[in-house]
Structure 1
Amino acid sequence: MTRCRLCGSEAMASVVDLGATPPCESFLSADQLDRPEPAYPLHLRVCTDCWLAQLPPLITPEETFTQYAYFSSYSTSWVEHARAFVADAVGRLPLGPDAFVVEVASNDGYLLRHLVDRGIRCLGIEPSVNVGAAAREAGVPTLTEFLDPATGTAVREEHGPADLVVANNVYAHIPDVVGFTEGLRALVADDGWVSIEVQHLLTLIEENQYDTIYHEHFQYYTVASAIRALASGGLTLVDVELLPTHGGSVRLWARPAEVAGEPSARVSDVLEREKAAGLRELTGYAEFSARVAKVRRDLLRFLIEAAERGETVVGYGAPGKGNTLLNHCGVRPDLLAYTVDRNPYKHGRFTPGARIPVLPPEQIEADRPDWVLVLPWNLRDELVEQLSFVHEWGGRLVFPIPELSIVEVER
């Protein structure tokens, strides 16, 4: 990678090199196990001019998102997060009966269904055929397209400008940052609002959340780099919220530059935090690679020692981040017998690279393993409660990030 995709600079510095892995959502069917499986370098770099952290665009969004294995509605806490956001936005903006809301990367309608319930006109723009179909079946109007300036303009001409455009967990997923941002500006009314949620690079670095680095995520934002990205499409950041979702995210509130006004004090506060953490100089990234290596050693040590004691370890969840972790650590079925997931789309398939079987959640209670390795660690509170039954037979939960930890719950 020689040039920054946002500012064009050639001043690119290495942050962490995780080797080569397959795309994290390319789960394998049984008949694919004897076929070659492509793997791509996973090397995060940062531009020392605009400080956008990024991966080279080795795969295209079309390869990943046309058929997608992730359905948002299978996370109870994420659906509740969406409901709370809608309730807040309706009052904050406000959104009346004549309002129009567009969500980009609307997945299976997990968020827009709350607007449908309120009788507010809305539209999802979702590139994945299978999850978009699930949204339409649930009564959420959904267009199967990728967002670019042409799509944004076409939607505006057909449906009118949007009072609110929502883009949750998608701003990292597009290699053409400028074109996507221009698409957001084409969608939103000249006096409208754009709300973007994206993982915060500050938390990723501070909390050692390296497993959220995968090929679907082309870039990783600080608020400082997000300001520059938004400006590339004619949007200005006016407010920011720090969120606990995905281990630490930011909600960016932006408006067309012509009506934006001065940013809130919260924007200045977060910019100061990022500066204090050294994220606008290379010192802030210097120790990250060493801390990543320690996660790998600690997890492998735990799994190997459990195997030598004759103990069974299985996984819970099959998220994309889990596949970064498993492949970077070299975990295979001899150390992790299987993992389970609530999403039936993944049942009977195998994780990319590691080839670990994905089974229904009921398998854990049937087998009563000694240990359950929780791969979606960002849902820790939700999953500790869901998996409390594991302790009925003396099983224990293990969380690998930000450092290896064992959850002991009294029976």
Structure 2
Amino acid sequence: MTQCRLCGSATLASVVDLGATPPCESFLAADQLDAPEPAFPLHLRVCTDCWLAQIPPLITPEETFKEYAYFSSFSTSWVEHARTFVADAVERAGLGPDAFVVEVASNDGYLLKHVVDRGIRCLGIEPSVNVGAAAREAGVPTLTEFLSPETGAAVRAEHGPANLVAANNVYAHIPDVVGFTQGLRALVAADGWVSIEVQHLLTLIEENQYDTIYHEHFQYYTVASAIRALASGGLALVDVELLPTHGGSIRLWARPTEVAGEPSQRVNDVLAREKAAGLQELSGYTEFSARVAKVRRDLLKFLIKAAEQGKTVVGYGAPGKGNTLLNHCGIRPDLLAYTVDRNPYKHGRFTPGTRIPILPPERIAEDKPDYVLVLPWNLRAELTEQLSYVGDWGGRLVFPIPELSIVEVPAKEVSA
């Protein structure tokens, strides 16, 4: 990688090198286990001119999203998060019965179904054929397409300008930042709103969240770098919210530059926090690699000790971030017997690279393991509640990020 994909600068500095791993959502079927498996370097760098953190575009969105293994609706908390967002967005943007809402990367309709329920006209733009089909089955109008300036213009010509364009958890997934942003501008009305949710590089660095670095996340934003990215397509940031999702995200509220006005005090406050953390100079990045190495050592020490003591450890969840962690740590079935997931699409498959079997969640209660390693650690509160039954046999939960944490789960009281 020789040039920044946003500003074109050649001054890119290394942040952390995670070696080479397979694409994180390329789960393997049983008949693929003896076949070669491609792996690609996973090396995060930061541009010292615009401070956009990024990895090389070694895989294409077309390869990742033609058929996608992630269905948003399987997370209870995520569906509730979407419902709350829609309620807030309706108020902020003043969306009435004649409004039009577009969501880019709309997945299985988990968000737009709340728009449909309100009787507001909407359209999802989702590139993955399988999850887009699920959205349509759920009653959410969905176009199977990637967003580009041309796609945005075509949707606008057919359906009219959008009063609100939501692009939640997709702004990191596109290597053509400028073209995608121009597509957002093509969709939105001259007086409309664009809402983008994306993981915050500040919390990624501060909380050792390196497992969210994977090949389909091409870039990692601060508010400062997001302002530069939005401007490349004719949008200006007017407000920002700090969210707990994905371990710490930012919700960017943008409008066409001509109507945006001055940014809110919250924007200035977050910019000041990022500057104080050193994220607009190399000092904010220099220690990250050493802290990542410690996460790896601590988790491996725990797993090796558990194996030597004859304890059983299984996983919960098969998220993309989990595959970065498993591959970076070199964890195989001898240390993690299997993992489970609520998504039936993944059952009977194996994690990429590490070849760990993925089973239905019911298997945990059947086997009563000593430890359950929670891979989607960002859903800690939700999953601690879902896995409370593990305490019935004295099992414990293990969270690897931001540091190794072993949690005892109280056994449920049985009433007489």
Q: TM-score range by the shorter chain?
A: over 0.9
1:197 aligns with 2:197: yes
Q: Give the corresponding residue for 2:220.
A: 220
1:189 aligned counterpart, secondary structure:
strand
Give the 5 Å matches for 1:42-57.
42-57=42-57
* Amino acid in structure 2 at the alignment position of 1:118: R
1:28 aligned counterpart, secondary structure:
coil
- Give a deviation string over 1:269-299, Cα, whole Å, max 9, x none: 0000000000000000011000000000000
1:240 aligns with 2:240: yes
2:410 aligned counterpart, secondary structure:
coil
Query: Which structure 1 segments of 5+ residues have no match?
Result: none
Q: Give the corresponding residue for 1:386.
A: 386
Give the 5 Å matches for 1:137-286.
137-286=137-286
TM normalised by structure 2 equals: 0.99
1:293 aligned counterpart, secondary structure:
helix
Q: Give the corresponding residue for 2:113.
A: 113
Q: Give the corresponding residue for 2:28.
A: 28
In the aligned structure 2, how far is the partner of 1:43 from the partner of 1:409? 37
Contact 2:14/2:44, CA 8 A, preserved across alignment:
yes
1:68 aligns with 2:68: yes
1:350 aligned counterpart, secondary structure:
coil
2:384 aligned counterpart, secondary structure:
helix
Q: Give the corresponding residue for 1:317.
A: 317
TM normalised by structure 1 equals: 1.00
Q: Give the corresponding residue for 1:94.
A: 94
**1:27 offset after TM fit, Å?**
0.1
2:204 aligned counterpart, secondary structure:
helix
Q: Give the corresponding residue for 1:405.
A: 405
In the aligned structure 1, how far is the partner of 2:410 from the partner of 2:145? 49
RMSD: 0.4
In the aligned structure 2, how far is the partner of 1:354 from the partner of 1:190? 49
In the aligned structure 2, how far is the partner of 1:84 from the partner of 1:410? 31
In the aligned structure 1, how far is the partner of 2:89 from the partner of 2:59? 35
* Amino acid in structure 2 at the alignment position of 1:239: D
1:315 aligned counterpart, secondary structure:
strand
* Amino acid in structure 2 at the alignment position of 1:30: A
2:398 aligned counterpart, secondary structure:
strand
* Amino acid in structure 1 at the alignment position of 2:50: C
In the aligned structure 1, how far is the partner of 2:222 from the partner of 2:295? 24
Q: Give the corresponding residue for 2:370.
A: 370
In the aligned structure 1, how far is the partner of 2:323 from the partner of 2:234? 36
1:124 aligned counterpart, secondary structure:
strand
**1:410 offset after TM fit, Å?**
2.4
**1:91 offset after TM fit, Å?**
1.3
**1:99 offset after TM fit, Å?**
0.2
Contact 2:392/2:410, CA 8 A, preserved across alignment:
no
Q: Kindly, what percent of the aligned residue pairs are identical?
A: 87
Contact 2:61/2:173, CA 8 A, preserved across alignment:
yes
In the aligned structure 2, how far is the partner of 1:345 from the partner of 1:216? 19
Q: Give the corresponding residue for 2:122.
A: 122
**1:11 offset after TM fit, Å?**
0.4
1:311 aligned counterpart, secondary structure:
coil
1:38 aligns with 2:38: yes
* Amino acid in structure 2 at the alignment position of 1:381: A
The count of residues paired between Structure 1 and Structure 2 equals 411
1:102 aligned counterpart, secondary structure:
strand
Contact 2:390/2:409, CA 8 A, preserved across alignment:
no
Q: Give the corresponding residue for 1:395.
A: 395
In the aligned structure 1, how far is the partner of 2:41 from the partner of 2:92? 43
- Give a deviation string over 1:310-348, Cα, whole Å, max 9, x none: 010000000000000000000000000000000000000
1:306 aligned counterpart, secondary structure:
helix
1:108 aligned counterpart, secondary structure:
coil
**1:68 offset after TM fit, Å?**
0.1
1:6 aligned counterpart, secondary structure:
coil
**1:409 offset after TM fit, Å?**
2.5
Query: Which structure 2 segments of 5+ residues have no match?
Result: 412-416
In the aligned structure 1, how far is the partner of 2:16 from the partner of 2:237? 29
1:345 aligned counterpart, secondary structure:
helix
Give the 5 Å matches for 1:282-361.
282-361=282-361
In the aligned structure 2, how far is the partner of 1:154 from the partner of 1:409? 53
Give the ranges of 4+ consecutive aligned residues of structure 1 lying more than 2 Å apart after TM superposition: none
In the aligned structure 2, how far is the partner of 1:79 from the partner of 1:224? 29
* Amino acid in structure 1 at the alignment position of 2:196: I
**1:92 offset after TM fit, Å?**
1.6
* Amino acid in structure 2 at the alignment position of 1:104: V
In the aligned structure 2, how far is the partner of 1:274 from the partner of 1:328? 28
